[in-house]
Structure 1
Amino acid sequence: MTLHIVLVEPEIPQNTGNVARTCAATDTRLHLVRPLGFNIDEKSVRRAGLDYWKYLDLEVHDNLEQFFEKYKERRMFLATTKGGEMYADVKFKDEDMILFGRETRGLPKNLIEKNKDMAIRIPMSENTRLRSLNLSNSAN
């Protein structure tokens, strides 16, 4: 089964590089949706991916609208702290996509509101003071 990881407007190159390395190691396609908070040729992105970067199945999209237009027929899950269903309870299918938002704000609120039924979450302690897990930990 092949899943797609989609990073929407990622800001931190090291996080993206870490996710890219995992995607390369698992033959998972990585989608980056602009604007990006860095240049994908930047040394820190490649460094985090080490020598795996050349094996990465990468697709870059100019914006979220372009991405949705191209993949409108795919099932897309929104990773968010507001998700109702736990990711482990989802019966993923081949070619499903999991979208992760930018590190500082997550996915656009209107996107989550319109697609509540596709919002999933990673469990965290109810007593935590943290807003969320790190992007690269969540996507990996």
Structure 2
Amino acid sequence: MRIALYQPDIPQNAGTILRLGACLGIAVDIIEPCGFPLSHASLRRAGMDYLDHVDMTRHADFDAFQAAQSEAGCRIVLLTTRADVPHTRFAFSPDDTLLLGRESAGVPDDVHARADSAVTIPMRPGLRSINVAMAAAIVAGEAARQTGLFPAA
């Protein structure tokens, strides 16, 4: 399983997601360009000393990312408010990559169309979205539970 960030805007959210990946053993892909310099200095506050423990891959653009996912046999599952399928009703696979869009704008329509599947987190009516790092944790937790990433308690 992997988490991918499409052109992230906010270094604190990216750092938090990298920390999540380190703690859960989930690799993280960064699809550039980023809205900030992608460096340890910009990610340090949220990522703390976990950044050395995450398997992170940078991709020059979405085409490079999609080619790598295709070569690895990974399905791209987009997290979006525009999906009809709740993440709790989706059958995740251990080879899935959870794709999250920019905090400011999500993903463009062409990227949305190129995802293999799309899921949403059910929310109360009238509210727009959940913070991208929180969304990553919610959906990664469900995907990990379904696929057995977490050992039985």
Partner of 2:59: 61
RMSD value over aligned CA atoms? 1.4
Structure 1 consecutive aligned stretches of length 4 or more whose deviation exceeds 4 Å = none
In the alignment, the residues of structure 2 paired with residue 18 and residue 54 of structure 1 have an alpha-carbon distance, to the nearest angstrom, of: 13
Partner of 2:87: 87
Q: Which runs of 5+ in 2 are unaligned?
A: 138-153
Partner of 1:36: 34
In the alignment, the residues of structure 2 paired with residue 36 and residue 9 of structure 1 have an alpha-carbon distance, to the nearest angstrom, of: 5
**Amino acid across the alignment from 2:119:** I
Deviation at 1:91, TM superposition (A): 1.5
Match of 2:63, SS state, is: helix
Match of 2:21, SS state, is: helix
Identity across matched positions, percent: 33
In the alignment, the residues of structure 2 paired with residue 53 and residue 114 of structure 1 have an alpha-carbon distance, to the nearest angstrom, of: 30
Partner of 1:12: 10
Is 1:102 matched up with 2:99? Answer: no
Q: TM-score, normalised by structure 2?
A: 0.82
Deviation at 1:89, TM superposition (A): 1.3
Match of 1:112, SS state, is: helix
**Amino acid across the alignment from 1:85:** V
Structure-2 change in CA distance of 1:114 and 1:16 (3 Å): closer
Match of 1:106, SS state, is: coil
> Given that residues 36 and 42 in structure 2 are in contact (C-alpha distance below 8 angstroms), is that contact kept between their aligned partners in structure 1?
no
Match of 2:83, SS state, is: coil
Deviation at 1:6, TM superposition (A): 0.3
Relative contact order, higher structure (CA 8 A, sep 6+): 1
Aligned residues: 135
In the alignment, the residues of structure 2 paired with residue 114 and residue 4 of structure 1 have an alpha-carbon distance, to the nearest angstrom, of: 17
Partner of 2:120: 121
Within the candidate set 131, 139, 144, 1:134 is matched to: 131
Structure-2 change in CA distance of 1:20 and 1:123 (3 Å): same
Q: Which runs of 5+ in 1 are unaligned?
A: none
In the alignment, the residues of structure 1 paired with residue 40 and residue 56 of structure 2 have an alpha-carbon distance, to the nearest angstrom, of: 15
Higher helix share: 2
In the alignment, the residues of structure 2 paired with residue 114 and residue 53 of structure 1 have an alpha-carbon distance, to the nearest angstrom, of: 30
**Amino acid across the alignment from 1:126:** P
Match of 1:31, SS state, is: strand
Q: TM-score, normalised by structure 1?
A: 0.90
